[in-house]
Amino acid sequence: MSGSLLEGNNFSSSTAGTGAGHQGSLGGGIISSLSTPTTDHQPHETVHRNILPNSSPATFPFTLGGGAGEGGKGTVTDTVAAAIAEVVELLRTDEPLWSRTQGEGGLVIHRERYDKVFPKGNYLKSSTARTESSKDSGVVAATPVQLIEMCLDPSKLMDFFPMMVPKAKIIEVLDSGMLGGSLQLMYEKMHILSPMVAPRDFVFLRYCGQVETHAWIMVDVSYDSFKDQLDTSAPSNSWRLPSGCLIQDLLNGTSKVTWVEHVQVDDKKQTHRLYRDLICGSQAYGAKRWIVTLQRMCERFGFFLALRRIPAANHELDEVINAPEGRRNMMHLSQRMVKGFCEVLSMSERVNYMINNGGVRISLRGQPGGLVVCAATSLWLPLPTEQLFNFFMDEKLRGEWDALSGGHPATEIAGISTGSYPGNRVSIILPLGRKESNMVMVQESSINSLEAYVVYATMKLPDITSAINGDDPVKFPICPSGFVISGDGRLEKTSSSSGSSSKARAQCGSLLTVVIQSMMSNNSFSKEDNMECMTGVHALISTTIQKIKAALDCSELD
């Protein structure tokens, strides 16, 4: 696991093409045009010349690597130059290229006006293909150089966005950044953390560069010649139209980030009804989710630097974690746990995979030390995200849903704050009333305005003490379980009638994903043993869901 992000200030200040002395030959033309909205849109070529006044595809500042081939250099250059022009226009303009949705009034592309300005047709030739678009902005507690470095480094990208990007890699570096910008061919898997939603695979060109003294841009675009890099057996065909972000330095250690997301997708299977509103409403993979997640993770790493200990019960681990090095090691261990939790939810990749009739999906995989059985499912509850999050965070109520607790509560014996909201923390929890007195739970919880998670794993007390004292956390097996909570994406309706208003509000709730994993110590089980293990974990997750519904007075829900 890459630990560079957890060091916070270990971001390199010499990222190619992003340093203060590397103003690219795109010059100030891009950003200066952002303050002058265009109201009379012309065809694509005219817009391109207006935004890049001194550039054309033939003079774009790249020296492309050999991977593109001599015959392909101009085509790649044309594609990236046009994508930059389009993203800048989308960044600097709201109406008429964008229109506001109902409800919270998010921005989506006005399709008819967009097609007149940027005519390109559909890349996915399917009657079921659809387009998703969104735009959002926010202030992030990181410098532009740190953010651009994250965008160019797959390891840091996965550290920042474990809930969104379980896999990322560089296929080829096409330009190293010596001429004002970095260009690379990348692969990225995106996923909503639910076994009921197929992941999306993208192969795309990513350009990052400085365009003014205090402004940087990142632009992504899929490219025809790299279609053969995509997995044709993937459950979803995905094509990234020009997308990206503008990062403006606020000169106080923070940045304003404006994000544009624009994709075409063709899911080979119909989107599950629970997630239809969230996905088709451009919320699940939208710009706001990128911004909100980025804000939350930057806050987490900022708190990591401060290493704020939460006063806890009198316990030997509380004294161990009191040392800065102990808290740092604890954060590394927890991050590894959360990333592992996110990775197992890409269950479509598991060979031993089955869909239970009750909606529970089960996988069986081998790893050092034995077999791991994973059961996961998602359900809808008529409660807000924060209420569900607080329910799972309440130590006194843990016995009401944790089937392994024997009905007993739990207590936090050590903790580290990871954000301003009290529930954002890493905790060591002691289940009360359990016979195994040498077992504790590591738990990380996090919440933002869109989603929340509570991830936990049982560990032996000597193992967690060793990890906190500096032993490599990879040495210790972690088998995380937990919950992911998000809004359901439905627009809340209002009515003058109190009865109908109450009914409308009841239609808006949360999507809860429940994941339970169990490690078996022997990896040489027979088929009968494997089925018995899966049956046992299925019974455990079913009991857990029944307990959750009962505790929340939702037992009548299917």
Instruction: Identify each DSSP E strand in 320-369 by its residue range.
Output: 352-355, 361-367
Q: Are residues 98 and 224 in the same domain?
A: yes
Dihedral sign, CA of 251, 253, 258, 263? positive
Instruction: Identify each DSSP E strand in 161-296 by its residue range.
Output: 167-175, 181-190, 200-212, 215-222, 236-240, 243-249, 255-267
pLDDT in the model for residue 36:
36
Q: Are residues 57 and 206 in the same domain?
A: yes
Q: Are 317 and 466 in contact (CB under 8 A)?
A: no
Q: Are residues 280 and 341 in the same domain?
A: no
Q: Are residues 286 and 394 in the same domain?
A: no
pLDDT in the model for residue 534:
84
d(CA 361, CA 446): 25
> The domain that contains 69 carries what CATH number?
3.30.530.20
Poorest-pLDDT segment among 294-298, 380-384, 507-511: 507-511
Poorest-pLDDT segment among 213-227, 273-287, 429-443: 429-443
Q: Are residues 202 and 347 in the same domain?
A: no
- Torsion from C-alpha of 75, 76, 78, 84, nearest 10 degrees: 160
| In the block, residue with structure tokens 């119909």 | 270
Most confident stretch, 184-198, 337-351, 529-543? 184-198
Please report how the helices 324-344 and 461-468 are oriented relative to each other, as an axis angle in degrees rounded to 10: 120
d(CA 172, CA 133): 27
Q: Determine what percent of the chain is predicted with pLDDT higher than 70.
A: 72
pLDDT in the model for residue 532:
80
d(CA 386, CA 5): 28
Pairing of strands 439-447, 370-381: unpaired
Instruction: Identify each DSSP E strand in 356-501 by its residue range.
Output: 361-367, 370-381, 410-417, 425-431, 439-447, 451-460, 481-487
Q: Are residues 80 and 159 in the same domain?
A: yes
Residue 477 lies in a domain: yes
Name the more confident of 527 and 450.
450
pLDDT in the model for residue 305:
77
The SS3 call for residue 382 is coil
Q: Are residues 164 and 272 in the same domain?
A: yes
If you average pLDDT over every residue of the chain, what do you get?
Answer: 78
Residue range 277-310, pLDDT digits in tens: 888 877 889 999 999 999 999 999 888 777 655 5
d(CA 268, CA 236): 6
Structure tokens at 166: 């379980």
d(CA 278, CA 299): 25
Residue 183 lies in a domain: yes
Q: Are 174 and 65 in contact (CB under 8 A)?
A: yes
pLDDT in the model for residue 304:
79
Poorest-pLDDT segment among 4-13, 302-311, 402-411, 436-445: 4-13
User: What are the counts of helices (DSSP H) followed by strands (DSSP E) for the chain?
Assistant: 14, 20
Q: Are residues 345 and 292 in the same domain?
A: no
- Domain range for 266 is 9-299
Is the pLDDT assigned to residue 353 strictly greater than 60? Answer: no
Is the pLDDT assigned to residue 434 strictly greater than 80? Answer: no
Residue range 13-72, pLDDT digits in tens: 333 333 333 333 333 343 344 433 333 444 333 333 333 333 333 333 343 443 444 444
d(CA 238, CA 224): 12
d(CA 257, CA 137): 5
pLDDT in the model for residue 506:
43
Name the more confident of 390 and 363.
390
d(CA 487, CA 512): 9
Residue 558 lies in a domain: no
Q: Both ends of the chain: CA-CA distance in Å?
A: 40
Is the pLDDT assigned to residue 322 strictly greater than 60? Answer: yes
Instruction: Identify each DSSP E strand in 213-356 by its residue range.
Output: 215-222, 236-240, 243-249, 255-267, 309-310, 352-355
* Confidence band, pLDDT 50/70/90 cuts, at residue 203: very high
Which residues neighbour 60 within 8 Å (Cβ) at sequence distance 6 or greater?
77, 80, 81
d(CA 3, CA 474): 12
Q: Are residues 127 and 80 in the same domain?
A: yes
Q: Are residues 288 and 328 in the same domain?
A: no
Q: Are residues 236 and 368 in the same domain?
A: no
pLDDT in the model for residue 51:
33
User: What is the total count of domains within the chain?
Assistant: 2
* Confidence band, pLDDT 50/70/90 cuts, at residue 249: very high
pLDDT in the model for residue 49:
31
pLDDT in the model for residue 31:
39
pLDDT in the model for residue 279:
87
* Backbone torsions φ then ψ of 486, nearest 5 degrees: -150, 165
Which uninterrupted H or E stretch holds 152?
helix 144-152
| 0.95 exceeded by pTM | no
* Confidence band, pLDDT 50/70/90 cuts, at residue 73: low
Name the β-bridge partners of 362. Answer: 354, 375
Which residues neighbour 257 within 8 Å (Cβ) at sequence distance 6 or greater?
137, 138, 139, 140, 147, 245, 246, 247, 248, 291, 294
Q: Are residues 329 and 366 in the same domain?
A: yes
Is the pLDDT assigned to residue 316 strictly greater than 90? Answer: no
Is the pLDDT assigned to residue 485 strictly greater than 90? Answer: yes
pLDDT in the model for residue 505:
42
d(CA 70, CA 77): 12
* Backbone torsions φ then ψ of 462, nearest 5 degrees: -65, -35
List the alpha helices (DSSP H) in 153-207: 154-160
* Average confidence (pLDDT) over 434-450: 86
Is the pLDDT assigned to residue 336 strictly greater than 70? Answer: yes
Burial-class residue 38 by CB neighbours within 10 Å (0-12, 13-18, 19+).
middle
| In the block, residue with structure tokens 């030739």 | 125
pLDDT in the model for residue 450:
94
Is the pLDDT assigned to residue 3 strictly greater than 60? Answer: no
d(CA 82, CA 76): 10
Is the pLDDT assigned to residue 366 strictly greater than 90? Answer: no
Residue range 45-58, pLDDT digits in tens: 333 333 333 333 33
Cα maximum dimension of the chain? 74
Residue range 141-197, pLDDT digits in tens: 999 999 999 999 999 999 999 999 999 999 999 987 644 689 999 999 999 889 888
Burial-class residue 256 by CB neighbours within 10 Å (0-12, 13-18, 19+).
middle
Name the more confident of 86 and 128.
86
* Confidence band, pLDDT 50/70/90 cuts, at residue 491: low
Residue 307 lies in a domain: no
Residue 474 lies in a domain: yes
The distance of Cα 346 from the centroid of its chain, to the nearest Å, equals 13
Residue 383 lies in a domain: yes
Q: Are 489 and 510 in contact (CB under 8 A)?
A: no
Residue 557 lies in a domain: no
Most confident stretch, 125-134, 182-191, 462-471? 182-191
